[in-house]
Structure 1
Amino acid sequence: MPIPLKTRAFWAVYHRLEWAPVMQQPADKVRAASNLRRRMLRLPGMSPITGGRARGVAVEDSSFALVDGTVLPLRIYRPEAAPAAPRPVVVNFHGGGWVSGDPRQSEWWASSVAAQAGVVVVSVDYRLAPEHPFPTPAEDCYATTEWVVAHADEVGVDATRLAVMGDSAGGNLAAVVSLMARDRGGPAIALQVLIYPSTDISREYPSEHENATAPILQLADHRNVPGLYLSGERRDPADPYVSPLCAADHSGLPRALVQTAEFDLLRDQGIAYADALGAAGVEVEQTTYAGAVHGYISLPGVVPAAGPALAEAVRAIRSALRP
């Protein structure tokens, strides 16, 4: 099916307003462009597009300190109804090409997952490249997952029922955290929810050229971001903690839900990762949403596929984290 008219209309307007696309900027201009995008998406008139917080969900801003003293902010979404027992927990990682974004950009999705799946969602504001290149964002996300498990009583969750979730670069980080947990004997993750994830920046895929000028994420963004993320000493794009599809072994990883969008240059990466997980014996569901574009969980008002995608994610989380 074609891209829906309201999606195309939104992109036609937004594309003209965003005169400095964040992921196409040189390193010294990324942060200013990112801050401008953040302000634009928080304008009052944007709420019908980006969605609002789900009803019946309380939001708490918190933080925790890493061993080196770095403080990472957390945004916690918790159903208001008193539970009979501690709720399962989903640790969420936002998208933004590892260089931009924050937990608020997926407020509709995270709060809706909390409300409909009956879980606590913990979103971390991990440090961003290029100021903090790989492996810092990945290590921040893994440390957050470990911290939530170690402080389950403080957070008020049942850490034996744990999932990780993320979209785009956040989907990459959720997959990487799952790899790290397996490799390091870390937290037992029951489910990884990977939404239009980046899984391999070491190779090209047909969807990159098929959707080179599709809305939201374009080929110019995709080609510039690796240089920003891998600007430190560790520059191997085939490192499995950069490109999880390049891992030598995908066995023993958590059950997975992988969602992709028809008009997204990352589509084929997500499908390839689901195939690799399945080939390794991992239980995996993979859905490509027709007519959808990259970023749909942050744009539920203009991308109709966001609703069915949410329903699918909620079903997977409830199934994986039930007592």
Structure 2
Amino acid sequence: MPASSSTMNNSSSEESYDMTEAKDFAPPPAQSPKSAKVFFNNIADFENASTIDPPENMLAETFSTETRAGRPRSMSHHLSSKKIPSRRLLKIKAKFWRSLMTLAMHFHDFAPPRPPPPAFKHKIPTDTTPIELFFYLPPRYEDTLRRDPSFRFPAVINFHGGGFCLGDARDDRYWARVVLEHTNAIFVSVNYRRAPEHPFPVPVDDCVESILYVEEHAAELHIDASNLALSGFSAGGNLAFSASFRLAYHRGMDAMDWRSSRPTTSHSVVTTSHSVVTDAEGTDREGNDHDIHSLVTPIHSTSNLLRDRTDTPLRIRSIVAWYPLLDWTMSRSRKIRESRNPKKCLPKTFTDLFDFSYLPPPDVSGDHCSPYASPGLAQDHMICDGLPADIQMWLCEWDMLLREGQIFADRLDRLGKRIDTKLIPRVPHAWDKSPNPFRDQRAIDILYTKSAMNLNKVFQDKEGYGPANSMSSLHATDSIIERQPRRSIVLPI
């Protein structure tokens, strides 16, 4: 099980980064003054949606997102490392941490209110391990289909975190519960194939295949394929952006336009003739209309305009990215140096495992610079045409990924996207994935709820979403600031 934050801090000091390893010539940032602590007693006042307008006085200061002029980009530090671990060793380490993380997430699921189990799962055949899709159904799914069997639900396709080599599709069940309650969408969580067994770009392509699978089987799943959103945590946030780019510029499909038409996928013939459905008990069986109708569900969306259609166009309406990794050209040492609280960053044990597993050196083709690996480096025209108009980004103040997230959010804003960026004060990376069963999940759910409510506005085509009605920066009236998970354990999500 990953160590506690105090243990990891010690580990971080023992396994310190060589700050001269990455030749990025970045001077250390100026020491910022500590923010005064603010305490809150009444959480009920902040659970109402009417209290979430941005305040006049922001608690968390923001630093400039402009890159320093004249500073060349470096290769990610592991690509220039002389000590390259073997793939066999990386696989052993990945399996070890996966087993511990599975145990940790078992305790994570004990925090009330308990998340729902997946209703069923589908498998997409591959040449190795199948891609698993876990389906969660909204509370009024059965009632809605009983009244209108042709109803189509919006859907959220989620990609889990874990540095591209750890984690599981069921890790984000608390997020799934809140999304189901506040959007009435079907929640689809993807078990993409992980590194080091499947390095870049396999996870990205698996996420693209998952999106196309949902679109291809939209009719039988009661999903409105023209009303989809992507979400992801950390590595999953990276995949939400990179899969959109991959879909548009590698697979040649416009998923941002109503008039788009889907190409034939590599699994079209196989999945159409033989889809595998697995129920909540894990038993595989042949999928058919009766089984799916008894399991799946929909709710209010724009699908009333498309009810009688069996082939709706694919359209990605929104992306929700939680503390995403966006730029592999920034070395880990530089990211830590520019972070606001280096002691809260993930230790080198995990970052080396992630880096060497996903983008193994030597990087002859320059994959670390690819927009499919580093979506923050995508060209302007790719961002304009390959990403949806509505995007949410949740960033953590004590995260080494904060600066690249702010830089990318600034680019999205300048390129005309309705970007809603939220800085969560005084929390580390993956603070919401603490395995502590006594953590304050209710406070975390407040932020999940804010995100889901904005997402619902997109699904419902409601006015007011975007910067003008943003819940962007958290502040002294937001209870999450002093309601962090008690004795939080930093997981490598």
TM-score (norm 1): 0.84
Q: Does 1:283 align with 2:413?
A: no
Q: Does 1:80 align with 2:139?
A: yes
Per-residue CA deviations over 1:49-73 (Å, capped at 9, x if unaligned) read 596215xxx6223223246575211
Return the alpha-carbon distance in structure 1 between the equivalents of residues 347 and 456 of structure 2.
Answer: 34
Q: Does 1:52 align with 2:117?
A: no
Partner of 1:314: 452
Paired residue type of 1:317: L
Residue number among 312, 316, 322 corresponding to 1:195 in the alignment: 322
Following superposition, the deviation at residue 158 of structure 1 comes to 1.1
Paired residue type of 2:427: A
Larger Rg: 2
Paired residue type of 1:116: H
Partner of 1:63: 122
Q: Which runs of 5+ in 1 are unaligned?
A: 1-8
Return the alpha-carbon distance in structure 1 between the equivalents of residues 157 and 245 of structure 2.
Answer: 15
Select the structure that is richer in strand. Answer: 1
Tell me the SS of whatever aligns to 1:127: coil
Q: 1:204 to 1:14 in 2, by over 3 A?
A: closer
The one of the two structures with greater contact order (alpha-carbon pairs below 8 A, sep at least 6) is: 2
Per-residue CA deviations over 1:252-295 (Å, capped at 9, x if unaligned) read 22121011011111111211111111121111110011122211
Return the alpha-carbon distance in structure 2 between the equivalents of residues 181 and 136 of structure 1.
Answer: 13
Q: How many residues align?
A: 305
**Aligned counterparts, 1:110-259, within 5 A:** 110-183=176-249, 184-187=252-255, 188-204=315-331, 208-209=336-337, 210=339, 211-214=341-344, 217-218=346-347, 220-231=349-360, 236-249=367-380, 250-252=383-385, 253-254=387-388, 255-259=390-394
Return the alpha-carbon distance in structure 2 between the equivalents of residues 266 and 34 of structure 1.
Answer: 22
Partner of 1:302: 439
Return the alpha-carbon distance in structure 1 between the equivalents of residues 201 and 225 of structure 2.
Answer: 25
Partner of 1:98: 164
Select the structure that is richer in helix. Answer: 1
TM-score (norm 2): 0.56
Following superposition, the deviation at residue 98 of structure 1 comes to 0.2
Paired residue type of 1:95: G
Tell me the SS of whatever aligns to 1:96: coil
Contact 2:159 2:207 in 1 (8 A): yes
Tell me the SS of whatever aligns to 1:74: strand
> Percent same amino acid at aligned positions?
26
Per-residue CA deviations over 1:198-227 (Å, capped at 9, x if unaligned) read 000111486522333316x33553354222
Paired residue type of 2:173: E
Q: Which runs of 5+ in 2 are unaligned?
A: 16-84, 256-314, 462-493
Contact 2:395 2:423 in 1 (8 A): yes
Contact 2:228 2:316 in 1 (8 A): yes
Per-residue CA deviations over 1:225-271 (Å, capped at 9, x if unaligned) read 22210128755211110000111122122121011011111111211
Deviates more, 1:286-295 or 1:91-100: 286-295
Partner of 2:100: 37
Return the alpha-carbon distance in structure 1 between the equivalents of residues 161 and 8 of structure 2.
Answer: 18
